[in-house]
Chains A and B, each alone.
Chain A
Amino acid sequence: NAGVTQTPKFRVLKTGQSMTLLCAQDMNHEYMYWYRQDPGMGLRLIHYSVGEGTTAKGEVPDGYNVSRLKKQNFLLGLESAAPSQTSVYFCASSYGGGLAGEGVRRNEQFFGPGTRLTVL
């Protein structure tokens, strides 16, 4: 199993350009997440999905859109990139979503290798 994969690994954009980051998982997980990691800050949740066809906003959703057309894929889009979106982006997936009463092992998040994005 490949686990969680992300495409591309690196990207440089100019302000105003658009792009899509692709995340794929082969573990049949229901839940998928997009995070950004910035220096001096913990991982912050951008958007997440609780299943195919669903998406929801996280802590820092502005400037991003997502889609989950297939269970195994979770796409993160930047419509008009800004320098403030320079960051390392991580995708993660989990079998469970951390609902009350759920076994803790079900909500372990498995992370992809990250995409380093620079917006000039």
Chain B
Amino acid sequence: KNQVEQSPQSLIILEGKNCTLQCNYTVSPFSNLRWYKQDTGRGPVSLTIMTFSENTKSNGRYTATLDADTKQSSLHITASQLSDSASYICVVRANSGGYQKVTFGIGTKLQVIP
């Protein structure tokens, strides 16, 4: 069964500090992996996407990495801001006979405090 596991479940950091969120998946065969940011009371918004051949992708202060061999991804946030407080969801697509299936992680809830 395709699964996406994220850690930690929740995290509190001080404004200005860095943090790293983890995503482990068992989705196979792998197609691509996205990180989404979901603000409280809002829908998820895509931050980055990586395919099998990519091992790092940046979007401003967000940097995602992918190790397709170990089936692990991380999202690193640099110099955190209060507006980074949100849930971060790892989403993995699998190829499935011509249609790609999507599996969502539960998310990591990040709180940035002053």
Question: Which of A104, A107, A113 is B43 in contact with, Cβ under 8 Å?
Answer: A113
Interface SS majority for chain A:
loop
**Interface check A108, CB cutoff 8 A:** yes
Question: Which of B43, B51, B102 is A4 in contact with, Cβ under 8 Å?
Answer: B43
Q: How far is the CA of A90 from the CA of B89 in the complex (A)?
A: 14
Tally of contact residues, A, Cβ under 8 A: 23
List residues of A (65-120) whose CB comes within 8 Å of B's CBs.
90, 92, 97-100, 102, 104-105, 107-109, 111-114
Picked from A44, A90, A100, the residue with its CB within 8 Å of the CB of B98 is A100
Which B residue's beta carbon lies closest to that of A112?
A: B43
Provide 29 A-B residue pairs closer than 8 Å at the C-beta atoms, listed in order of the A residue. Answer: A4-B43, A40-B106, A42-B89, A42-B103, A42-B104, A42-B107, A43-B89, A44-B104, A90-B43, A98-B93, A98-B100, A98-B102, A99-B98, A99-B99, A99-B100, A100-B95, A100-B98, A104-B31, A104-B49, A104-B51, A107-B93, A108-B49, A111-B43, A111-B44, A111-B45, A112-B43, A113-B41, A113-B42, A113-B43
Give residues in A with beta carbon < 8 Å to B: 4, 40-45, 90, 92, 97-100, 102, 104-105, 107-109, 111-114
